[in-house]
Amino acid sequence: MLFLLFFFGFLISLIFCNFKFVYIFEIEFLEINSNSIIMTMIFDWMSVLFMTVIFFISGSVMKFSVEYMMEEKNKLRFCMIVIMFILSMIFLVISPNLISILLGWDGLGLVSYVLVIYYQNSKSNSAGMLTILSNRVGDVAFFNLYCIYINYHGNWNFFSLSVFDKNIISVMVVLMLLAGITKSAQIPFSAWLPAAMAAPTPVSALVHSSTLVTAGVFLMIRFSEFFSSMMFFKVSLLFMSSLTMMMASVVANFEFDIKKNIALSTLSQLGLMMSIVALGFPNLAFFHLLTHAVFKALLFICSGSIIHNFGHVQDIRMLGLVTNQMPKVSICLNIANLSLCGIPFLAGFYSKDIILEMYCYSNWNFISFIMLFIATSMTASYSIRMAYFSLWKKIHSKSMNSIFEGESEISSSAMLMSMGAVVGGSVFSWLIFSSPNSIELFVLLKVSTLIVTFAGGMYMLSVKEKNYFLGEKMKFIFYFFSQMWFFPKISSQIFLNFMMSWSKFSFENVDISWVEMLGLQGTFKVLVYSSKILQSIQKNSIKTYLFSMIIIMFVCWMF
């Protein structure tokens, strides 16, 4: 069914991209006293093309999950949750008003939490809490944006954003920026993306290719024309995205979990998309969003096939010689890696090359330029490293293993996705851009992309299994990079320790001290003392009666 939707969506996207059609549909659900509830949908070349890619990737992932989740008892429940996840993303893509975007936005966050905690162990539960709490920050920002929109304008459609005052738009820029960077895991909210790898591999293929993490990028692309004149928006987004891009690409060279390695690769590419949005080229960011979705889903499918055949081992140091035992998956994994590196005429080359050339052509600061080329070099480095450990190195797993590829659903879905990773870049470039993009640069800048990519690959081939840093003094640097610049600890343990310390202080100094004395215990003691006094009065003692009569007479004499 999903492949059938992909086929029809592709035919429709050809028409929409060629003629730049825009259709807006309004469906009235309810009308009460001249107040109506209307569902609005927008179909333009961007939404139709993105939905086509979502259908293609979702169909391949569902085909892959048939075999990968074969031993799962609740396969129907898993498929229903994944379909809800896909529908939430489609709802977000076709919505032109903030209330329906908010529904799709929250739907992605809640369903992703259910999928991350799917295996119901301590690791998945902690990863799920980190994921949903990080996304809640963006959800709150987006809800505040919606409240401002309704309060000052009374209209839900984002087409009318330009009518606001500049001061109001500045506040909305901050809220939109916060919502976008949390959903797309930009610094300082980057820790949840690798943690979300606790979900099943088919879910990871969807989350990190065309659904959850791309929602923030897609939102920034949709709203970029309204915020493009705001320098604060551009500078802030460029700084955070460039830092995220460099951090993720460097840290990926120190990660040994194959799924987290690919997740860090996703984080780096999201930083690249956000940075090109900040530079003012949203169509280029959308172009790279589509090509990245195809080869990243292929990477996850191939890694899931390897994990499935190696008995759910994810440490790349325990893998090896996959080329001899799984040739089809090895071919597809190499295609995805080469496309990620930007090797000419694969899908990733068409988008990454023009993005890097636009970086060279633009007049932005030199620091972001250096960060971009470091990230590009490190992308080739960690791609070669993952391929070496999993495909070519001697096997270090169990001495007796049986790996058989055969004509499985996993290999067929990988071969299907590899076609998109080969021809997707050229097809998307023909559809999105009406004419070829030609940028005139110096020869050195023109070939700089290939130079840094080749340099990163050669560096990793020369290092292989050697230690990156030698000596006791450099172990902290290795630990610093392997721990993702301590962002997981900052995002979880620091806040957890603060809350635990504050709760201990509150319990010792508030709960069991003065609150207890003035509250229940104090009330109890007052009642005990007053009851003792009343008991002593009611003992029929003549002394008590005489003393009471003297007090009453004294009071009467005084007043």
pTM of the full predicted structure?
0.83
Band of residue 428 on the pLDDT scale cut at 50, 70, 90: confident
The span from the CA of 440 to the CA of 289, in Å, is 24
pLDDT score for 468: 47
pLDDT score for 520: 67
How much is the average pLDDT of 367-372?
Answer: 83
Q: Is the previous residue joined to 188 through a cis bond, with omega within 30 degrees of 0?
A: yes
Buried b (16+ CB within 10 A) or exposed e, 378-415: bbbbbbbbbbbbbbebebebeeeeebebeebbbbebbb
The span from the CA of 475 to the CA of 481, in Å, is 10
Residue pair 193/267 in contact by the 8 Å Cβ criterion: yes
The span from the CA of 381 to the CA of 376, in Å, is 9
pLDDT score for 380: 85
Which of 379, 353, 361, 384 is closest to 291 using CA atoms? Answer: 353
Indicate the domain borders of the chain. Answer: 2-482, 519-558
pLDDT tens, position by position, 547-558 = 777 777 877 777
pLDDT score for 481: 66
Buried b (16+ CB within 10 A) or exposed e, 271-284: bbbbbbbbbbbbeb
pLDDT tops 70 at residue 361: yes
Band of residue 470 on the pLDDT scale cut at 50, 70, 90: very low
How much is the average pLDDT of 391-416?
Answer: 69
Least confident stretch, 285-289, 374-378, 484-488: 484-488
